[in-house]
Structure 1
Amino acid sequence: MYAALRKLTPFFLVFFTLAFADVGLAVLDAEARSRSGGRSFKRSAPSAPRSAPASGATARPSNSGFGRGLAGGLIGGALGGLLLGSLFGANGSGIGILPILLLGVAGYFFYRRFMMAKPSSGLSAYQPLSSFSRSAPPPPPHTDPLEDGLAELRSADPDFDPQHFTEVASDVFFKVQAGWMRRDLSSFRHLLGSSLAEEYGQHFADMTQKGIINKLESISVRKAKIVEAGSVNGEDFVTLLFTANLLDYTVDEKSGQVLEGSMTEPVKFAEKWTWARPVNTEAWLLEGVELAD
């Protein structure tokens, strides 16, 4: 059936070419008149690039080749009619026999040119695109943000030792927890940045007013490791992730009654503690504490 359609295609092509020739003239003439009025345009989004076939595959001729040939024939017929109708039509109107024959010949030429062409055995049109994609530069090598941050610290402080810093930070961790339980900011105020010290002072004042004490007992640090480091806006910073177990409960300071939490069931928590210092100094201060995700 497909072979039969291929044989009839030239006749269909000539028929549609002749049928639409006068219509093409009418459309072109109407469009020329419409330019005197306003027209609105809507800009369309750019079309996505067509992906190339897999490497090594031979590209087949596009099934839309016949459609392109037909469209080319219709446009060529319309333009040909526009030019030749005024020269060879009867009294300057319509299309004469010579333009009709020329349109038919042109239509058949386009059919032979685009429909009957055999694909060559050489490189396909899409293979250069595949070659280009294969020659794209490799992605940049992966870098460790933590190592980059530590390198920034060492650029101004070659003696910075992450292990020693972690040990000292762990001591501060226990000192802060003990001061929190006593509601005693003075015991560790010198270790805090101004913003954090102010927040802790407000917490202690609130607990004192309510007459409650937050007990933190049997603290066991399971892991303490540096997770972030670097320099920003003239300050070095280091963030440690603490993972720990402890008994965390709140009691009434007068009666000792447990108001919240448990005296026997430990809880697990993970917090990020961040220290900062001005570059080229040793004035490390605890600037922030937050729950880890």
Structure 2
Amino acid sequence: MRHGKRWKGIAVLATFLFLFFGALELDAWARAGGGRSFGGGSSRSFSTPYRGYSSPSQRNEYRSNQAPRQPVAPSAPASQPWGGGGFLRSLAGGIAGGFLGSLLFSSLGYGAGIGGLGGGFGGGFGLLEILLFAGIAFAVVAYLRRRNRESFAGAHGGQITMGSSAHGGGCGSSHGDHAETAVEEPPGPPDPQRGLAEVGAVVPGFDAGRFPEEAMDIFFRIQGAWASRDLNPVRDLLAPEVRQEFQRDLDILKAEGKINRLENIAVRHSEIQEAWVEAERAFVTIHFLANLLDYTVEEQNGQLVAGSREIPVKFEEYWTYVRPTRGSSWQLTAIQQAG
């Protein structure tokens, strides 16, 4: 009997932890890219975008040609997975603390001779077990957050910085220490106008005023291909690293028998944020602010399994496009979440 009550308590706590970690994942989105940062192909693909450049002609509102029914009203910004906290994570954390605290005080009461854990778990669930499960939960959360930070930092690993070669290798001269000190200083913000001039010099016919519209066309085509679960129509618009990531996500949806629906896509804002040339390739980053209906249904019966058919979600992303200086078309090479 004692062992049965013990395992009952363990089962309840395990179920609680499962729901707790599940709540942490509710903020994740499903649209193309899944609301996360990935891709690459450049040393600056995941650098903090500079907001100094603005193209007023591109501040108009655009809507997808596939938008059905009623227009979409702006909604409150949705949080990013493992990003800025969010109501669900705060609520789950508070419940977790209260739950574990209740167990802790009950266990201390049992140790003081009050008679077990008050009947909620039937006794036998001691302080040692509580601390063990709390330690496991803390370790899991710490591991997931550390892995997220490391994966993001790994994208910066190839950044080009000023090295000793710029100073002749620092061959023991008295200026070597000063050169090293200069390298440690953070660089200033990039000059968007200079970057656009560099891109225009190597890409024939490049027009900074019209490029956001071209980038937005690619944006809508990619979202449409994602919703139809077929990347072949946009294969030439995706860099290999992005295409592989998209295909992996679509394969998971197909294996689970689910379809991610994207409707009423409305781009509220788009403008060039950065432009540069690197390794005979031109890069341009576009800032998108948009909202849409984003939900997932069962393929067989259309039952809703995630998201909402009525409540739109708002997202803010930076899409980086690349084009070989001798090439003829732009491709999406990276997606970075704002914030």
Which of the pair has more CA radius of gyration?
Answer: 1
Which TM-score applies when normalising by structure 2?
0.43
- Name which structure has the greater RCO, CA cutoff 8 Å, separation 6+: 2
| Structure with greater helix percent | 1
